[in-house]
Structure 1
């Protein structure tokens, strides 16, 4: 089932894949990493002027990593804002996705957290560095194949 935004993207020749609708009826689209930045700019111009949230997850051990963007179209006087969910999948071996910081400034800390926890590198992000873990931390803690390093906790001392 194709949604309104998907039909609009097809009409304008923009490559994507419709993933249907979530439980709230929000349209979900898959965008290739190499197309993401240009489509993000187009969506912003089209009216999706608010990045509600960005997160990332590990699809399966040894599989793809996904960066998820929840966009909202805020208009003055609108009863119900229009929303869309965008998923951008990246290979685990070299997960690179263009940053949308220059489109939506609210992507700053959210993309940094996805980098810190899953190792997804956001190209052209101005301050892409760890935000939760120490700079010396090795690995990406939210990957399903992550092996916890041996460390000593104070609670284990008693």
Structure 2
């Protein structure tokens, strides 16, 4: 079942795939990585002015990685703002997605965390570097095929 945003995107010739609605009734769309930046700008211009959250996850061991964006249209005098969930799937071998930092500044730390934990490279991000793990850390800890080292360096615990 297509939601209102999906119908609007089809009407304007914008390529996407409707994934239906989540358990809260929020429309979920899949966007190709190469189309994501232009569609993000269009969504911002159409009123989705707030990036509520961005996260990423490993779909399956050896499979695709997903970057998820929860967007909200905040308008004055509206009690129930309109929301949409965007999923961008990328191959594990070379996971590259255009950064939306220049559209929503709140993507800064969220995209950096997704890079640090899953290795998704957000192209044109101004400060894409590790944020939680040390710069010398090898691997991406939240990938399902990640092998944890058999040692952990103890930091000052006091």
SS at match of 1:7: helix
Query: Which 5+ residue runs of structure 1 have no aligned equivalent?
Result: none
TM-score, normalised on structure 2?
0.96
1:152 CA displacement: 4.1
* Alignment size in residue pairs: 154
TM-score, normalised on structure 1?
0.96
Q: For residues 51-105 of structure 1, what are the alpha-carbon distances to aligned partners after superposition, in whole Å with 9 as ceiling and x for unaligned? A: 0000000000000000000000000011210000000000000000000000000
Structure 2 residue aligned with 1:86 = 86
Q: For residues 1-48 of structure 1, what are the alpha-carbon distances to aligned partners after superposition, in whole Å with 9 as ceiling and x for unaligned? A: 000000000000000000000000000000000000000000000000
Superposition pairs of residues 108-123 of structure 1, within 5 angstroms:
108-123=108-123
1:149 CA displacement: 1.1
1:150 CA displacement: 2.1
Q: Does 1:53 align with 2:56?
A: no
Q: For residues 133-157 of structure 1, what are the alpha-carbon distances to aligned partners after superposition, in whole Å with 9 as ceiling and x for unaligned? A: 0000000000000000121466xxx
Structure 1 residue aligned with 2:138 = 138
Please give the alpha-carbon distance, in whole angstroms, between the structure 1 residues aligned to 2:142 and 2:59. 11
Structure 1 residue aligned with 2:15 = 15
Please give the alpha-carbon distance, in whole angstroms, between the structure 2 residues aligned to 1:66 and 1:153. 30
Q: Does 1:107 align with 2:91?
A: no
Query: Which 5+ residue runs of structure 2 have no aligned equivalent?
Result: none
Q: Does 1:42 align with 2:66?
A: no
Please give the alpha-carbon distance, in whole angstroms, between the structure 2 residues aligned to 1:144 and 1:5. 32
